[in-house]
Chains A and B, each alone.
Chain A
Amino acid sequence: MTTLPEPAPRPAADAANTGLVRSVLRSPRGAIVVAFLVVLILACALAPLIAPYDPLAQHLSAVRSGPSGRYWLGTDSLGRDLLSRLLHGGRSSLLGVLEAVVTLLIVAVPTGLLAGYLGGTFDRIAMRVAEVVMSVPVIIILLAVLSIFEHSMTSAMIAFGVLGSSGLMRVIRGSALAAREELYVTAAELMGLSRLQVVVRHVLPRCRGAIIIQASLFAAVTLGVQTGLTFLSLGPPPPAATWGGMVADAASVFNQDAWMLVPPGVTIALTVLAFGLLGDVVRDVSAEKYAAAPAARRKRRSGTPDTAGRPEPATDMLLSVRDLSVATDGGRPLRLLDAVGFDIAAGETVGLVGESGSGKTMTARAVIGLLPGNCRITSGQVVFDGSPVQDLDQRAFRKLRGRRIAMISQEPMAALDPSFRIGSLVAEVVRAVDGIKGKAVHARVIELLRMVEIPDPEAVARRFPHQISGGMAQRVAIAMAIAGRPELLIADEPTTALDVTVQAEILDLLRSLQQQNNMAILLVTHDWGVVADVCTKVVVMYAGQVVETAPTGEVFDRPAHPYTRALLLSSPENTHVGERIQAIPGSVPTPQRWPAGCRFASRCDLAQPGCTEGAIPVKDISEGRLSRCLRVDTLLGGEARR
């Protein structure tokens, strides 16, 4: 029996470990599990005092009686009380688990700590030995031990603890390795603490969660093995009561009385489960401790739509988004997009600009119907080529995807399934959108690869994604996207992950493909250079809202929202050599902290008291220009070229 490898919990700080026990007890699952184990252990430990009968006493007048007032769990085929036998049998089982777990800790904790903390030769030898020990068929060693030390369950359990220690050792080594890099550990070393002191005081506490998790899972496995061995009557010889032995007794008479199987089976299962769950609870609790504490939720009003005076979707546009709101599912839905609206005409390239967390990607994913599983469109319309698509189910949406709307994503490497060859991946899409079969597919694949200007497409088609460069991978991703000759391409930061020279090539490629096919592009980016290069229109987003919409030609000279202006100023292209980049102070508020008024007010140097009072309406400034700012006149007036 081998414990399954469990992922090590994230490294903990000392402080995070304090109160681990309290957190476990406070979670309902943890409380139940701990209560069950405490009651079970006490009941078994006190069995001689509390068991209703002697476990060996035969009540021949009540053989194989079911549960009754006299015998709560019934009796076995010799009339022995099952409850008393369970309580007494639990003593050897739980003692066995304790022996194995203590052995495990004695062996694994010091070796793991030293291997991780000291490294070097000791670490290498320890890891090698662990690797070999992990493959040992443990059961055979246990049988040999039981054969040599007759009926000595203690020896078998100690052997089991030793053989099982390699798993825990590896986990502790991992934590210790991580701890060694921590500043406070280095500081402790510099202060002159001995290695032993550092390990015991600073490294060991960090491993506590991992140790408890592994030890409780190991306890679960041990109990299974211990009861199995007693089932094979290799443990304490009959008539001594053991859990496994009770199953064996029941097995010999299940034809006459199946009930006898229930008490030991259920007890073993529940105990194994309790040990296993204890590990899970500790893991969950320690994982929660490192996740950010949930932020206080403020009362928020939703904003006004992004399209002043034009609440109805435009029917002459290829894509028209109106009043689009997206929120998470669940009891306390969290609004991620707030009344977003914009239009894209056929063949037009629109840039969707904003910092991380502004909602650009979420908007793009809503348009193509691929929101994350826990998010939903709560209101608004997405109209593609005159028909609303926001309520389409996945099946109906699939008819649009690839053929009419397609997408490429930010990380070209991550966008290609690593298990398949390039040719096969492109062919997958070709078959889906083109309805062609056989040799024609391959010809089309090569044609597409050629269209995205890949040299030697035949050779590239035979490669795996990890064998090509990032730029090449993005070309392949574009080939997949244009396979169905889409009218709209959603490109989520298509050049962010690429080198500057490759970026320019990809943008050129997108532009030429767009002109050849009259394809509209929704380009998500935070790079003004890219916007200037390819976009005809810019939609600026901040904290889930559109704050400005403008033709590209105008936005650079006359931004109509302080956020746009700040974004432009912070862009490296607008900074002269030797100047400091003017970063925007603060950060985008998370959806939990969206204020009722202007969401940018706290970072804005034009903010007035009125800005924070209520939702800011969108103003129509001029043809094709919208701004969500109360002070747009000031901005466009005197201070536009600050």
Chain B
Amino acid sequence: MLKLLAHRVALSIPLVLLVSVVVFALESLVPGDPARTILGENATPEGIAALHQQMGLDQPWLERYWHWLSGLFHGDLGASLFTGDAVTSELNSRLGVTVSLVLCCVLVSAVAGTALGMFSAIRGGPAARVVDVLSLTGLALPNFWVAIVLVALFAVKIRLFPATGYVALAESPGHWVRSLVLPVIALSLFGVTAVAKQARDATLEVQDTDYIRVLRGNGVSESRIVLKHMLRNAAIPVVTVLGVVAVSMLSGTVFVEGVFVLPGLGSLATQATTDHDLPVILGIGVYFTVMVIILNLLVDLAYGMLNPKVRAS
């Protein structure tokens, strides 16, 4: 178990390096003057010169990278080219939104996906077909489209939830929940279906094992078998798919946060891309990478807790 976690942490360092090196290397590949690209066609020579100064474009990219990297170790990710604010303070103020969104989505995907998948596996027949069709649509519909439709239906047509905006949990838990319901539905659709598929396959497999047959054959009640033994054993593969789902949700925030005007990292990433604000994009890259690592660690931990063979070793 400890070995597994150590392995995960050891992987995280090359991961952060890889993401940042790629971005810096790409930047150096751009034909022409990056400052001009960033400032656009109407840039003044003074503006360009100032940006050169700010980005350190006079130095080779490796040197600039080294500068950025040493900043990273001091918790300094530079300043936004657009607003001039420190990247870390900008990101920290938005971190809560994205973390709330992603964690809620992972939770919803885990619970709803497992329930649907197990239901479909145990019931079989028409119920399973319905779940299958739902899964297909869930996988096929783009999340940003679902987001707009949800707003149109449940925020504009029936005024059930706010269409846009975010209320912090500390401010008002009730409003926090209300502000997250629609984004979470839109974003977890993919997760729910992916988890449901995995949970269904896993349950079908567990259902046909000797140990379930033996428990049945020796008189253990069906509800105990389903809720304790099947759930517990089907949860092991489900947890591994949850890791993949969580990472894809992090990406999904970029598409969905904008629709609901949630002031999170995803919507900032879009804005920064439009503004060519590379320090901010790099900063979000670092934050996302760290979140991916933490999510994977949590998955590993859960996996270890569920699987006694891993826990013991």
Contacts and interface: CB of A to CB of B under 8 A. Distances in A.
B218 A483 contact: yes
A232 B215 CA distance: 54
Interface stretch (A198-206, A261-269, A379-387, A600-608): A261-269
Most chain-A Cβ atoms within 10 A of its Cβ — which of B26, B37, B228? B26
Contacts of A410: 210
Contacts of A467: 312
Contact of A429 (B26, B30, B219, B254): B219
A401 B222 CA distance: 12
Most chain-B Cβ atoms within 10 A of its Cβ — which of A405, A410, A416, A418? A418
B140 interface: yes
B303 interface: no
Given A232-B254, A414-B211, A483-B218, A420 B14 contact: no
Interface stretch (A139-147, A181-189, A570-578): A139-147
Consensus secondary structure, chain B interface? helix
A233 B274 CA distance: 9
B285 A250 contact: no
Given A224-B142, A402-B219, A428-B220, A140 B285 contact: yes
Contacts of A2: 244, 247-248
Interface residues of B, number: 85
Nearest to B249: A1
Interface stretch (B110-118, B179-187, B288-296): B288-296
Interface string A410-452: 1100111111100000001100110000000000000000000
A228 B259 contact: no
Nearest to A434: B219
A140 B284 contact: yes
A409 B148 contact: no
Given A2-B248, A139-B251, A251 B211 contact: no
Chain A interface residue count: which class?
A: 35 or more
A132 B144 contact: no
A405 B312 CA distance: 35
14 contacts: A137-B292, A140-B19, A140-B269, A220-B139, A247-B144, A255-B156, A261-B148, A268-B142, A409-B210, A411-B210, A428-B215, A466-B308, A483-B218, A490-B217
- What are the 3 closest A-B residue pairs judged by CB atoms, nearest first? A402-B219, A407-B217, A137-B288
Interface of A: 1-2, 4-5, 131-133, 135-141, 143-150, 220, 224-225, 227-228, 231-234, 244, 247, 250-251, 254-255, 258, 261, 264-265, 268-270, 272-273, 276-277, 368, 370, 372-373, 394, 398, 401-403, 405-411, 414-420, 428-429, 432-433, 464, 466-467, 477, 480-481, 483-484, 490
Given A141-B285, A144-B282, A401-B216, 18 more contacts: A1-B252, A135-B11, A135-B15, A136-B15, A136-B19, A137-B288, A147-B281, A225-B251, A244-B142, A261-B149, A265-B141, A265-B142, A403-B219, A406-B218, A407-B214, A419-B307, A429-B220, A466-B308
